Structure 1
């Protein structure tokens, strides 16, 4: 099975925490079609499946998806600071 999302390590300390829930942010690579990659920063709060709800930024809208890691980090940090 084709994995569409893969976590990218080494970026967590450069990302602002999520303003909705305060959880840490994570950088991910998204491959919607073979050989086409995008980067996105997401909130790490996927909920616990019982009491804690999933953060709306766990899967952010398309405006956060970028071609490079640097651009994805900037998109997250700029929108979070606004």
Structure 2
């Protein structure tokens, strides 16, 4: 695999920073806007992430998927 497509489940402040780093070595970095806030959308756009419509589409088109979230949300997300 030359350059993977990376999926970011939660491009919050920490996730967007990681996504920006991943973009230097990825074909593209995807995120899913489903049920996300306008602030998250703005961050994703600022970091050049490519939006997909559904979580399933994100999983189907990503070679690597990263999930970064606050520790308090981790159990519910899992």
Q: So what's the TM-score if we normalise by structure 1? A: 0.23
Q: So what's the TM-score if we normalise by structure 2? A: 0.24
If each structure's helix is expressed as a fraction of its own residues, which one has the higher value? 2
State the structure with bigger RCO (CA 8 A, min sep 6), 1 or 2. Answer: 2
Return the index of the structure with the highest Cα Rg: 1
If each structure's strand is expressed as a fraction of its own residues, which one has the higher value? 1
